[in-house]
Amino acid sequence: MRIGPKDSAIPYPQAMIRGKLRLCGLGSEDASHISQDVFWQVTRSNSVELDILNEATRNVIERRHTSHAEDFDLLVQYDRLRRETDIVSPVVLVLEGASATGKSLLAMSMIVNLGATRFVSTDTVRQVLRSTLNEDDYPELFCHTYQAHHYKQAGDKKLSPVVRGFLAQNDLIQPTLNSTISRVLHEGAEAVIEGVHIIPGTLQQLGRGVIEVLINPSEGDHFRMFSTKHDASGLKSVSADDRQRKDEFQSTRIIQEYLLEQAERNHVPVVHLADYETSETEICRIVMDRISELVDSLR
């Protein structure tokens, strides 16, 4: 598919249509069928203008899923305001949670749903900092988050040592993350941020389009997801020894409980992960609510 005026048409991915439909609340199967239908309708021409593409999509939604048409109209209005003005903030979705809570896989889906052109993982920020900072001076940066308390602790001394180690590591990562998000907002790009090193409520002040969401599976699911990081994925961030792995998980869960407390205190929504499809739909609803607020603020 190519989109734009006939003299400057550019390739346009079908996934962009599907992503908008998922944001509107349609299930994965329905979104795929509609995007495929629209794709075949508009590819009869060499190129199609965006308004015509949106109209074709809107017509199919109206016929098959009328209840979602209003949400699609809202997305079209938001996209138009983003293209034609500089007064509507881009959406920067921040998925938070301790290790192995499912945020990375949800981030992959939300990148497509948002049509995000920027993605930042706090693990990547940590790796970059490791290349610039000395391990002798910053040993808390060169270990897993749940091990940092062995090297340095920060924050309220009444907190668990594990949490205080997490905060010490976070103190090194947070400034770079904040400046990165500020730069993304300045560029006007939709983005997805995910990672352990985010305390719920600390990023909302960066812009009205910043949406923080904490991902929280049940403790049982969390343990199984934590364990499979080694068994299924072969990641070295989790021990191969079962006994040690249980200790690592307990520390990870202490961090997750701290993040849950901060989310409640700072009014950050919590998505309870039971399956990815349902959680993705819930995150889409949270995003749509914020987009509605952004658009309504201009009326």
Same domain, 99 and 79: no
Same domain, 99 and 76: no
261, 216 contact by CB (below 8 A) = no
Longest Cα–Cα distance in the chain? 66
Choose one of 84, 100, 135: the last residue of a domain: 84
Choose one of 37, 60, 84: the last residue of a domain: 84
Say what the pLDDT of residue 198 is: 97
Same domain, 47 and 8: yes
How many angstroms separate the CA atoms of 165 and 11, rounded?
47
CATH code of the domain containing 237: 3.40.50.300
Say what the pLDDT of residue 167 is: 98
Say what the pLDDT of residue 104 is: 95
Which tokens is 194 given?
Answer: 């995910």
Same domain, 56 and 190: no
Calculate ∠ Cα 49-291-259, nearest 5°.
Answer: 135
Number of domains the chain is built from: 2
Domain that includes residue 22, residue range:
2-84
Choose one of 37, 61, 84: the last residue of a domain: 84
pLDDT tens, per residue, the chain with 299 residues: 788 766 677 888 889 999 999 999 999 999 999 999 888 887 766 678 888 899 999 999 999 999 999 999 999 999 999 888 888 899 999 999 999 999 999 999 999 999 999 999 999 999 999 999 999 999 999 999 999 999 999 999 999 999 999 999 999 999 999 999 999 999 999 999 999 999 999 999 999 999 999 999 999 999 999 988 766 555 556 566 667 778 999 999 999 999 999 999 999 999 999 999 999 999 999 999 999 999 998 87
Work out whether strand 2-3 and strand 10-11 pair parallel, antiparallel, or are unpaired.
antiparallel
Same domain, 56 and 80: yes
Same domain, 140 and 200: yes
Same domain, 104 and 244: yes
Same domain, 62 and 166: no
Alpha helices in the chain (DSSP H): 14-23, 28-42, 50-64, 69-84, 103-114, 122-132, 161-187, 219-231, 242-265, 276-296
Same domain, 122 and 17: no
Same domain, 111 and 224: yes
Rounded to two decimals, what is the model's pTM? 0.93
What does each C-alpha distance from 246 to 162, 197, 228 come to in angstroms?
15, 21, 12
Same domain, 228 and 285: yes
Same domain, 66 and 164: no
